[in-house]
Copies of this chain bind each other. A is one copy, B any other.
Amino acid sequence: MTNYEEMSPAKVRELIREQTITGPTAGMSKGFAQANLVILKKEHAYDFLLFCQRNPKSCPLLDVTEVGSFKPNKIATNANILTDVPKYRIYKDGVFTEEVLDASDYWDEDMVCFLIGCSFTFETPLLAADIPIRHIEEKCNVPMYKTSIACEKAGVFEGPMVVSMRPMTYENAIRAVQITTPLPAVHGAPIHIGDPSQIGIQDIDKPDFGDSVTIKDGEIPVFWPCGVTPQAVAMQSKPSIMITHAPGCMFIGDIKDTTLSIF
C-alpha cells in the first residue's frame, strides 16, 4: 500500500488531480494542514464571510481567494482548488445534486473560494500523544452529525452546527482538550464530551455524514465543531449554487499544522 502519510502535500495533490486518490484524506501528508472547501458566487460572499466570523468554531477561515481566483495562494503554491480535492459536492438551490471528481465545469468568474480549517489537522498531535484515532484505525471516514446547536445567522446563512466525533478513553479526552485548545484555526477545543442526546444526536451509530466507528467499553465520544457545517447550512439557506468538498475529502495545503498553533 502506498504510504500517503509521509507523502508531501504537493505529491498528494498531484495524485488527487489525476484522480488516483478519490476518497477521504485523513492521515495523509502527516503534519500539514487540511482544509474544508466552500465555493460561492460573489453575491453571497459577504454573508458567508460574516457567517464564518460569527461562527469561528465551526468555520475558522484559513484562506479566502480573490473573486474569480481558484488558487488558494495563502496556504498552498501551484494548487488548483477545482481539481485538487478528491471529491466535490454540488448544491443547487440548497439541494445536493451530484458528487464529482473535478469541479471545473461548475466554475464561474464571479465565484470566491473559502478554505476552512479541518480537524484532520489536529489528529497529528493527537497521534503523537498516543491517542488512537478510531476512523484511521478502522480505515473509514470520520463520523459527522448534525446537532441541535444553532449557528449564529448571517444574511441568508443559518442552520445547525455539524460536529465530528472521535471516541476515546476519559484520560485521553482530557488530554485531547489540552492538545486542541491552542489550535482555534482548526476548530480548537471540543464543543461537547459525552451524552450525544445533549446536542441533539439521536443515534450515535447513524452519522449524517461519513462512517460509523466502534465505541469501545470505557470510551466516551468527543465532539468537535466541523467544517461540514456550511453544507448543512447551505441546505437550509439555498444559495443558487454552492460547491464544497465531499465530507472527509479535504484539500491538503502546504502549511505545517504547527504554524496554526497560537503557542
Contacts of A181 in B (CB 8 A): 262-263
Report the bound CA distance from A46 to B110 in whole Å. 14
Identical chains in the assembly = 2
- Cross-interface CB contact of A53 among B53, B189, B262, cutoff 8 Å: B53
Determine if B45 and A262 form an interchain contact, defined as CB atoms under 8 angstroms apart.
no
Residues of A within 8 A of B (CB): 45-46, 49-50, 52-54, 61, 64, 74, 181-182, 184, 188-189, 262-263
Report the bound CA distance from A53 to B45 in whole Å. 13
Report the bound CA distance from A64 to B56 in whole Å. 13
| A-B contact list, 22 entries, CB within 8 Å | A45-B46, A46-B46, A46-B49, A49-B49, A49-B50, A49-B53, A50-B64, A52-B53, A53-B53, A53-B61, A53-B64, A54-B64, A54-B74, A181-B262, A181-B263, A182-B182, A182-B262, A184-B184, A184-B262, A188-B262, A189-B262, A262-B262
Write the chain B residue with the least CB distance to A154: B64
Contacts of A184 in B (CB 8 A): 184, 262
